[in-house]
Structure 1
Amino acid sequence: MTGPWTPFLPPWLVALTLRHPLASKLAAATALAVTAYLFLCRKRASARPLALADGTRVYSPAFVFEHARYMAVNGKVLRVLHRHGPADKPAVVFLHGMGGNLAQWAPLMEKVSECAEVVGVECVGHGMSTDTGRPDDYRTLAMVADIASALEVTLPATRDLVLVCHSYGCCMGTYLAAHFGARVRGAIFLGGRALMPPTAITATRKLAALPSPILTLLRLYDRWGGLNSASVNRYLGPNSPRSLRALQAVWNTHLENAQLKSLAGGLQWVGEDEYKKVECPVLVIMGDRDGAVPVNASVEDYRRVLAGKGMAEPVVVLPGIGHQVMLEATDEVWSRMTQFLPEACGVKLV
């Protein structure tokens, strides 16, 4: 029993097809599966897309391109943004989330830069920072140590800090607030998750253990639908503009499987003990259409762990906004920041 595919099969497989009526179909399915595996799991020529199809710069908006430089930090090459500002005000430090980059902060950074010093760090393998290929470099505490080292090199030891963090960056920002102590005058957490229950930790560990081909297929399925795929809708609200959806679709393909598995395997989320070490007031801003974190559970957890830190109500939930709070509601976030910092932290930016 033969078919149109037999010229493309090895002789021993063709011989097998003559012995069983279903063997030819099985052989074709096997050949198709092998071809799909080689196609989907081949090494990409470029690990991170730098531009959209129309040539729009993705990772280097004008503000980032002008002020970001490469820095050797703890044996890694990281991209660090530093825009000088008045010495009598705290430096505002921006920390991205998992799979994030400096470009996601550009609109808010530009507003802050008009009145204060700005610093941003792209963690190992993120944005334009180098991927070392070493899983241990992607552990939570290793990346926190990298950010702390970059800040210590970039800023004077006496400079006060304000932390502005997004998603996974809120976890790292909590560790940093405990590390720098009284130097951190205030922190703003955007789209963060206060605590991770054991079930979520277990699910993350399972992700780290998935074979790369299976993870590739899951990621392809997640991106099915393009700008309206589950992977984009998870991060953006329903009213987000098409241009932002196009950027999010690119960002979602940024990390390689090996990097995702290293991040998942090295995840060490903060617990309630870490929040007790945070001395500064914290403001949390979330969107009610956030599909990346459980909003209601996060709100309750934040209210509990941040009780007694200078805010009667530490959580603000914005209607119609998704996970990328700083991009979907830049003006609202800026307004909340400039109100929170003077009232709760005694820091006046404007």
Structure 2
Amino acid sequence: CNMLELYVQRDCQGTAGLKGCTRSSIEKIESDKLPSRTNSEDESYQEAGTARHFPEVACSLQNLCQPFLISKFTDASITDPSLLRKHSTYESYSITSPVTGRSITYPSIRTFYHPHPQAAKLPTSPTPLPLIVFIHGLGGSVAQFHPLLTSLVNVAPCLAIDLPGCGCSAFEPADWEAYKLENLAALVATAIDRYREDSLGQEVVLIGHSMGCSLSVLLASPNNPLSTVQNLSKHVLGLVAICPRADAPSPREVKAFKKLLSIPGPIFNLWRQWDRRGGTESASVKRFVGPNAEEGVKRLQVRFNEQSRTPVWRRMARGMLPQYSKSGQANGGLPGRETWSALQVPILLMAGESDHITPALEVEKIAGFLGKASRTDPSERMEHGEPIVDAAAPIDSSIIDSKLRPKSNVTKRADSGASVTTTGQDQLFEERPTLKRRKTHAAALKTTILPSPASHALLYAPSTARIIAGLIQTFLSSHIDPRLSLGWQLQYLTTEGKWDVKNLVKWQSETGRTRNQPPVFRAMKTLREVDDVHSPAIFVEHWRGKIQAVVDISHESPVYDPQGLEKGGIQYHKFPTVSKLPPTVDEVKAFIDLIDRLRVQLGTESNDHNAAEDPEDAPVIGVHCHYGFNRTGFFLVCYLVERLGFKLEDAIHEFERQRPPGIRHGHFIDQLFVRYCAGLQRRPTL
């Protein structure tokens, strides 16, 4: 604060006309302050000294704070992704405050709701598909979930709201009470009740980021003080917490943060201006994304920081702070041990190794609350995070009082670089899959730590968003409801044989083969015995000597006679896999082993050295599923990464370039990013 006062003093010395500034102007600029303050709040406001010693500064600050007016390039309504714009409405919600019993109305809340596109065709017994609810953090918005929503809207109906004053929602009401954490939880519960199909027994899965995790816990835990949401907790099937905070700030942290929040809005905005110097390289950006983040996520963080409104942030931050009794008991604010420990649903906890807002070891602390901690007591090795957890914030809350935090005795774990292992599908479905629901809420706990540079922005960072999507989809289908697997749904919806007229027309419209996937493969669609163009006989006539083997990865018996290939000098190998489901880790390993053996046997391993001279004439191995895009692309991308040294993104783009449009199933690509995220720390289910 002393630095800010000196900075303001210096600015005022060169400003004319300040003495003519009236008190009414000051009050107008400071309109974001609490309408009615308690005595203690008045005292802390005077302790800051700004209003008392620098009343003449307020007029000049109005000009200083002009950079914080949101431009057309950062306005949330203009930069809103098209998916969100198309499926959003602006609705009014009224709640009864669980804190005071007062009625509070939020008149214009952006509400995103996307029904499942195939809901009418999927089983609704015993209940419809669960409603997936996304809850953003302090200073955040629904737009931060956009990369995840693009995947999950095809899995289940999705609901999300911009909290008041965030994103596209109106900053109404202005009363500070409306922004208490308990009231925000009641608002989310009211929105859920409006969209949840209660008459059909529809259940809910909560996905929160940062402060959104705390709101999710209040909604899901039966041990919460909110009578308005207790009925909702019994309908919650599971919880996904991304970058969660384990407990509330300490009494000393609360006291220090209250002093920070007592600084008048204009001074606060001046602080923001100082903090944002440098754009994508500013302290405000590095705090969230880390110093080694990719440029794309830095630009996004600049946008989200600029969209975070100071008066909204101040109110929500104040509403997250608990009140401590004389005995040290926390009341209200961020939930802690008692609320977390009462959870009785499957939980997925995710964090980034380079997250300094909510350090990754917060996950272990929560596991300890749930009775599933590691052998080392997390309370003894906890790296303390910020007292207030942000998704985008005006200022650096770590400077409140660095002395409040004890030195960490954590030894940073080295990146093992171990390959990621996942649970594969144990069953190959030859018929429409059946629904096997969980009989009880199995309190499974899954934890994942994404390696550096994964940070507090991992939800929307391009390098981690796909990984997050893949991990969540696996968790939903494995621990919540098997119907929440896109592969399961696609199989269920496949009610016709592959070779009826409709599929035949589709098959005929696809390109038969690609150029070489350097320097080993040709991706292709399956051959057809009676086809006039793509039959084994015509294939052998044209490709003898160029394609030395064909690997058929379709699950069914081929619709052509493999002997036609064998007689023409092209080996045929059957490697059955299931359509619509990403190949398992074991299947990928077996495929790679098969290709390695074939390359040695056929002598195509020399292509690594001479394919560049004449890639089209180099002998290769043909691979096909039905159409040669999804499973074929998945296997070929894996081989390019594991054997030929491609980076994952380059391998995906290479397949897309050679066989457009490339891998069509988004959940296949998500799974690839999960598989090849080096250093991803996935622990066994607890």
Separation (CA, whole Å) in 2 of partners of 1:37 and 1:127: 25
Alignment of 1:61-100 (within 5 A): 61-74=81-94, 75-76=105-106, 77-85=108-116, 86=119, 88-100=128-140
- Count how many residue pairs are aligned between Structure 1 and Structure 2: 324
Name the CA shift for 1:42/1:307 in 2 (closer, same or farther; >3 Å).
same
Larger Rg, first or second structure (1 or 2): 2
Partner of 1:39: 63
Name the CA shift for 1:349/1:265 in 2 (closer, same or farther; >3 Å).
same
Partner of 2:25: none
Deviates further, 107-116 or 80-89: 80-89
User: How large is the RMSD of aligned CA atoms in angstroms?
Assistant: 3.0
1:161, distance to aligned residue in structure 2 (A): 1.0
Partner of 2:468: 333
Pick aligned residue for 2:348 from 277, 283, 293: 283
Name the CA shift for 1:225/1:151 in 2 (closer, same or farther; >3 Å).
same
Residue type of the alignment partner of 1:64: L
Say which SS state the counterpart of residue 252 (structure 1) adopts: helix
Separation (CA, whole Å) in 2 of partners of 1:10 and 1:322: 44
Name the CA shift for 1:195/1:149 in 2 (closer, same or farther; >3 Å).
same
1:197, distance to aligned residue in structure 2 (A): 3.3
1:83, distance to aligned residue in structure 2 (A): 0.5
1:254, distance to aligned residue in structure 2 (A): 2.2
Say which SS state the counterpart of residue 285 (structure 1) adopts: strand
Partner of 2:449: 316
Say which SS state the counterpart of residue 306 (structure 2) adopts: coil
1:11, distance to aligned residue in structure 2 (A): 11
Pick aligned residue for 2:205 from 144, 149, 162: 162
Contact 2:279 2:302 in 1 (8 A): yes
1:171, distance to aligned residue in structure 2 (A): 0.5
1:315, distance to aligned residue in structure 2 (A): 4.4
1:8, distance to aligned residue in structure 2 (A): 5.5
1:265, distance to aligned residue in structure 2 (A): 1.7
Residue type of the alignment partner of 2:243: G
Contact 2:147 2:466 in 1 (8 A): no
Partner of 1:304: 368
Partner of 1:190: 242
Separation (CA, whole Å) in 2 of partners of 1:321 and 1:40: 35
Alignment of 1:170-189 (within 5 A): 170-178=213-221, 179=230, 180-189=232-241
Separation (CA, whole Å) in 2 of partners of 1:338 and 1:6: 59
Name the CA shift for 1:42/1:6 in 2 (closer, same or farther; >3 Å).
closer
* 2:357 is the alignment partner of 1:292: yes
- Percent identical pairs in the alignment equals 24
Could you tell me the TM-score, scaled by structure 2's length? 0.44
Alignment of 1:12-27 (within 5 A): none
* 2:278 is the alignment partner of 1:225: yes
Name the CA shift for 1:164/1:6 in 2 (closer, same or farther; >3 Å).
closer
1:190, distance to aligned residue in structure 2 (A): 0.8
Could you tell me the TM-score, scaled by structure 1's length? 0.83
Partner of 1:123: 163
Partner of 2:262: 209
Partner of 2:73: 51
Separation (CA, whole Å) in 2 of partners of 1:139 and 1:224: 31
Alignment of 1:206-285 (within 5 A): 206-267=259-320, 268-285=333-350
Higher RCO structure (Cα 8 Å, ≥6 apart):
1
* 2:171 is the alignment partner of 1:149: no
Structure 1 ranges of 4+ moved more than 6 A: 9-12
Question: Deviation per CA, 1:188-208, whole angstroms, max 9, x where unpaired?
Answer: 111121113314333332232
Separation (CA, whole Å) in 1 of partners of 2:114 and 2:135: 15
Residue type of the alignment partner of 2:371: A
Separation (CA, whole Å) in 1 of partners of 2:77 and 2:135: 24
Name the CA shift for 1:8/1:333 in 2 (closer, same or farther; >3 Å).
closer
Question: Deviation per CA, 1:143-187, whole angstroms, max 9, x where unpaired?
Answer: 111111011112212211111110000000101112322311111
Separation (CA, whole Å) in 1 of partners of 2:92 and 2:202: 22
1:69, distance to aligned residue in structure 2 (A): 0.7
Partner of 1:25: none
Gaps of 5+ in 1: 13-29
Partner of 1:22: none
